[in-house]
Chains A and B, each alone.
Chain A
Amino acid sequence: MLDMDKEQEGWGSQLRKGVVELAVLGLLAREPRYGSQLVDDLADRPELAITAGTVYPLVARLARAGLISSSWQESPVGPPRKYYALTPAGQDALAAMAATFANVAAAIRTIVEVEK
């Protein structure tokens, strides 16, 4: 017999895994952010359950893919910080991902609403 809670948890985790890139790109589209700022901003949305252990490897991957850029910048309140910003390719990727997400969400909503 399936353990429904576990199944649900696994499904939620897969879903969050799928949108974490979109969340990070979306935040960086608003303004460049440094690493721990990104972590804190995502932690403010507990439903996403995105932690530092997810964010730091992800930004490295997005930078390798050319979707974000990173550079050290002086901070008015402490040591320099490494800021991340969207590249033009990242802006395109964000637009495409946001559109896909909206389409998928809309399609799912029609199905779930029909079956309610």
Chain B
Amino acid sequence: MITSLDELQPKTLAALNAQLDALTAPVAAEDRADVREALAAHFADHLDASASPADVSAVAATLGEAEAEEPGRFGVPLDLTPPTGEKMARAWWNPRDERLLVPRVFGLGWTLNFGAVAVKLGLIEPDAEDEPFESTPAPAFRTAALVPAALSAAVVAHYVVRGPGLPDRLPNQMDAAGRGVDPIPKAAAAALDIAIAAVPTAWAGGLVASGKGGPRTAGAIAAATTAASISAWLTVWRTAATDGKARPWAGPLVLAAAWLPAGAVLFGLARAGRTAEQARDLGGKK
């Protein structure tokens, strides 16, 4: 035990300050100084003047994580950390979390937790997998990756087959009544739709082809499926909207429908993981 942190050796003091910074980082700004002071006192109680940086780590390991301040604006969650496949999978498929709406993977607001939806619909148990997608076998990932690949292929096929018969300019925006406005050259529209579908699909396909599984690949496939289905709907809408008719339902429908295939893909991957766990534990008895 020491009475002042100044009694520590310089290296140990530096390690302690780094620990205190890390431990208090998630704490609300107004409480941070108080929490830091309390933690410093705790360390002083458990360290002596000859303590090493390793001793600091050992004491830190006995502390729980500080309760994080939920970042956000006016009660709306905000996440500005880069979105990754793993992060997407954990947000979109978390059956152990009862909340249907969870903080978005990136930005301000909420997103749908398909895992909670599936549990509420009685389609899967909250704990069907020990860790979502960790037991999902490679063939299931390969099959799931076919969904965005098929949607991407449909977008390409649409422009190849129907493209020559389409007007030279296609709408690029939707007004409040769901009418197509802001026309752009057909080639630009085609390139945009194909890129929206193909780029994330290639990313997910690359992960699957390299034999990677787990939540990272599940999230990548789900993201690619969402992007590819948005692209497919966009392609259909662009073509239909050349007639200039109002379709007020088009925007909301596209947004809602674009998410469903991703939910179905995540559900399929989770079921495959559940089946693999059961086969592991029950063997031939299943």
Which A residues are closer than 8 A to B by beta carbons? 35-36, 51-53, 56-57, 59-60, 63-64, 70-74, 80, 82
Contact = CB atoms under 8 A, between A and B. Distances in A.
Contact of B96 (A60, A73, A74): A60
A41 B128 CA distance: 20
Contact of B97 (A35, A53, A70, A71): A53
Given A57-B96, A72-B277, A80-B278, 10 more contacts: A35-B125, A51-B98, A53-B98, A53-B99, A56-B126, A56-B127, A60-B127, A72-B280, A72-B282, A82-B125
B278 A52 contact: no
A56 B63 CA distance: 23
15 contacts: A35-B127, A36-B125, A52-B126, A56-B96, A59-B127, A60-B96, A60-B131, A64-B131, A71-B281, A72-B280, A73-B281, A80-B278, A82-B125, A82-B127, A82-B277
A80 B127 contact: no
Contacts of A82: 125, 127-128, 277
A97 to B, nearest CB: 13
A72 B127 contact: no
Interface of B: 95-99, 125-128, 130-131, 277-278, 280-282, 285-286
A71 B95 CA distance: 18
Most chain B beta-carbon neighbours within 10 Å: one of A51, A63, A72: A72
A63 B282 contact: no
A35 B126 contact: yes
Residue among B97, B127, B130, B281 facing the most chain A CB atoms (10 A cut-off): B127
Contacts of B127: 35, 56, 59-60, 70, 82
A73 B278 CA distance: 8
B282 A80 contact: yes
A52 to B, nearest CB: 7
Nearest to B126: A56
Contacts of B125: 35-36, 82
Contact of B285 (A35, A51, A52, A74): A74
Contacts of A35: 125-127
Contact of B286 (A63, A70, A71, A80): A80
Contacts of B277: 72, 82
Contacts of A70: 127, 130
Contacts of B130: 60, 63, 70
Given A56-B126, A60-B127, A72 B281 contact: yes
A5 to B, nearest CB: 22
Contact of A72 (B95, B97, B98, B278): B278
